[in-house]
Amino acid sequence: MTHIKRLLLDILKPHHPDVIDFSKALARTGNCQVRLTVAEIDARTETLQVEIKGDSIDYEQIQAAIAEMGASIHSIDVVEVEHNAADRD
Amino acid sequence: MTHIKRLLLDILKPHHPDVIDFSKALARTGNCQVRLTVAEIDARTETLQVEIKGDSIDYEQIQAAIAEMGASIHSIDVVEVEHNAADRD
Amino acid sequence: MTHIKRLLLDILKPHHPDVIDFSKALARTGNCQVRLTVAEIDARTETLQVEIKGDSIDYEQIQAAIAEMGASIHSIDVVEVEHNAADRD
Amino acid sequence: MTHIKRLLLDILKPHHPDVIDFSKALARTGNCQVRLTVAEIDARTETLQVEIKGDSIDYEQIQAAIAEMGASIHSIDVVEVEHNAADRD
Amino acid sequence: MTHIKRLLLDILKPHHPDVIDFSKALARTGNCQVRLTVAEIDARTETLQVEIKGDSIDYEQIQAAIAEMGASIHSIDVVEVEHNAADRD
Amino acid sequence: MTHIKRLLLDILKPHHPDVIDFSKALARTGNCQVRLTVAEIDARTETLQVEIKGDSIDYEQIQAAIAEMGASIHSIDVVEVEHNAADRD
Amino acid sequence: MTHIKRLLLDILKPHHPDVIDFSKALARTGNCQVRLTVAEIDARTETLQVEIKGDSIDYEQIQAAIAEMGASIHSIDVVEVEHNAADRD
């Protein structure tokens, strides 16, 4: 089975919801730790660097949660995956 | 349950209360560690970088304590949250 | 037996598959950890820095997987190998 | 109970007492470790960066000791506090 | 007995063999770990920084292996040795 | 009891004794570790950065040893002290 | 007893012997670890930064070994010594 262990995403977010609720929503997509850094704030949007760590991150759920909150993934900057033949898919 | 584990806030504070009492008040909102750095001091206000760490930071209480002391949150720079499906909400 | 323990590759990749699926495919060539960083994105390609770590990386399988996804190895920047006379070839 | 764990003070000190006796006097205000760095020396005064660490620093005693030796706190640069509801005030 | 524990060599290598096979050949001169970094690539040669670590590196075998592959040692940048009177020569 | 745990001194030393004997003499003032770095050498003197670490450094003995060897303390740059009410003076 | 634990020497060495044999000779003056870095190479000499670590470095033997190989100590940059009253001289 191949697990996504870490993602570093560049995200463009509207001012609402705030970064607290935004991080919580991402963390709830699985047993994840989310570390969100506000890189830039302008009139309408916030540019965020979001690191997500977990045993097995569900990227589709992450994409869905982000879209649901009116935000968008500007780029995937870092991906860390691990394959372990012993775990069943 | 989703827990806020760490916050880095940019805060604008009047000279009173001093940074000692200000930090103590924030720490008392829960079992938190507070690390306050004075970034700038001018005639009427102090710009502070405040890092708050804890097992489960209560952001509403933090906001209330800050407002009560006549200070304001200029920006939330970093948020770290953790979701653990095993903990009940 | 001589084992490749770590590779740092400079890779040129078309936009599809995305970096998530690309990393997963590389990790599946053996029990590997893959850490992919997007260095540059232009109209048609993405320049990636890909670090692969494992107990015994199969370089031929890595080359095949990369070619199969329409990407190419621009350069091998770092190689780490270990020889242990005690392991049989 | 809320404990002050660490202070970083900017202090202006006359040449006497010397930095050895000055540090010892601050440490004696409680079971503290004091790390004093001389930032600047001019004709009449020395500018010191003083880090004080302890389980529970008594800031009032620190202020009193500093005043008693003819020195003054130019600024409090960093404060670290911890609140532990389990300890009685 | 005096053991060479670590060498940092600046090596000039023709394009063939590639850096994978080149590193493996160096590692096989003893139970060594080899970390090869490609510093520069030009039309005919590659400039490599090669770190070799082991319990007791055989420098003569290293020199022979390098010459056999048509490469040359530009300089020895770092040598780490250990003498232990207790080990017999 | 208040103990001096660490001192960073800026010392001006004549060429004799050499830095080996000079360091040894300072270390002998108590169970100390001395780390001496030669910052500058000119025709008549050497400017040294001397770090002294110990469980309880005797500063008077350090001053005496330095004077005895014809050197002088240009400045005390860092002092680290610890007070432990439990140790008797 | 006072022990020299670490020396950082700036050494000027002729091209022969090479840095491998030169380091081995220094290490053999006692149970030492020697880390030699080539700082500069010119037509006739090599400028070396040599770090020697050991439980009790014999500086006289080091000086003798260096002179015997036609090299010279340009400067002693760092000395680390430890005094332990419990060890007999």
CB F32, CB F87: distance < 8 Å:
no
Confidence of residue F86 (pLDDT cuts 50, 70, 90): confident
Radius of gyration of chain D (CA): 14
For the range E58-67, what are the long-range contacts, defined as Cβ-Cβ under 8 Å and sequence gap of 24 or more? Answer: E58/E29, E58/E30, E59/E4, E59/E7, E59/G20, E61/E29, E61/E30, E62/E7, E62/E9, E62/E26, E62/E29, E64/E29, E65/E25, E65/E26, E65/E28, E65/E29, E66/E11, E66/E26
Q: What was the ipTM of the complex prediction?
A: 0.88
CB < 8 Å to G76, chain F = 18-20, 38
Inter-chain touch E83–G20, beta carbons under 8 Å: no
CB E50, CB E34: distance < 8 Å:
yes
Which of B35, B48, B62 should be substituted to probe chain D, the one whose Cβ sees the most D Cβ atoms within 10 Å? B35
Angle of CA points G83, G85, G87, to nearest 5°: 90
Which candidate from F19, F28, F30 shows the least CB-CB separation from G79?
A: F19
Q: What is the mean pLDDT of residues G19-26?
A: 97
CB < 8 Å to G77, chain F = 37-38
Inter-chain touch A24–B75, beta carbons under 8 Å: no
Domain boundaries, chain F: 2-83
E2-83 CATH choice from 1.10.10.10, 3.30.9.10, 3.30.565.10, 3.30.70.1340: 3.30.70.1340
Confidence of residue B9 (pLDDT cuts 50, 70, 90): very high
User: pLDDT, tens digit, for every residue of G51-89?
Assistant: 999 999 999 999 999 999 999 999 999 999 999 888 765
User: pLDDT, tens digit, for every residue of F31-71?
Assistant: 999 999 999 999 999 999 999 999 999 999 999 999 999 99
CB < 8 Å to B49, chain D = none
Confidence of residue G1 (pLDDT cuts 50, 70, 90): confident
Inter-chain touch A76–C18, beta carbons under 8 Å: yes
Q: What is the mean pLDDT of residues E16-23?
A: 97
Average pLDDT score over chain G: 95
Chain G nearest-CA distance from E8, in A, is 9
User: pLDDT, tens digit, for every residue of A37-87?
Assistant: 999 999 999 999 999 999 999 999 999 999 999 999 999 999 999 998 877
CB < 8 Å to G31, chain E = 83-85
pLDDT at E89 over 60: no
User: pLDDT, tens digit, for every residue of D41-89?
Assistant: 999 999 999 999 999 999 999 999 999 999 999 999 999 999 988 776 5
Share of chain B above pLDDT 70, in %: 98
Chain A nearest-CA distance from C65, in A, is 15
Q: Which amino acid is at C31?
A: N
Confidence of residue E85 (pLDDT cuts 50, 70, 90): confident
Confidence of residue B49 (pLDDT cuts 50, 70, 90): very high
Which candidate from F34, F36, F41 shows the least CB-CB separation from G75?
A: F41
Chain F nearest-CA distance from G17, in A, is 27
Share of chain E above pLDDT 70, in %: 98
Q: What is the mean pLDDT of residues B40-46?
A: 95
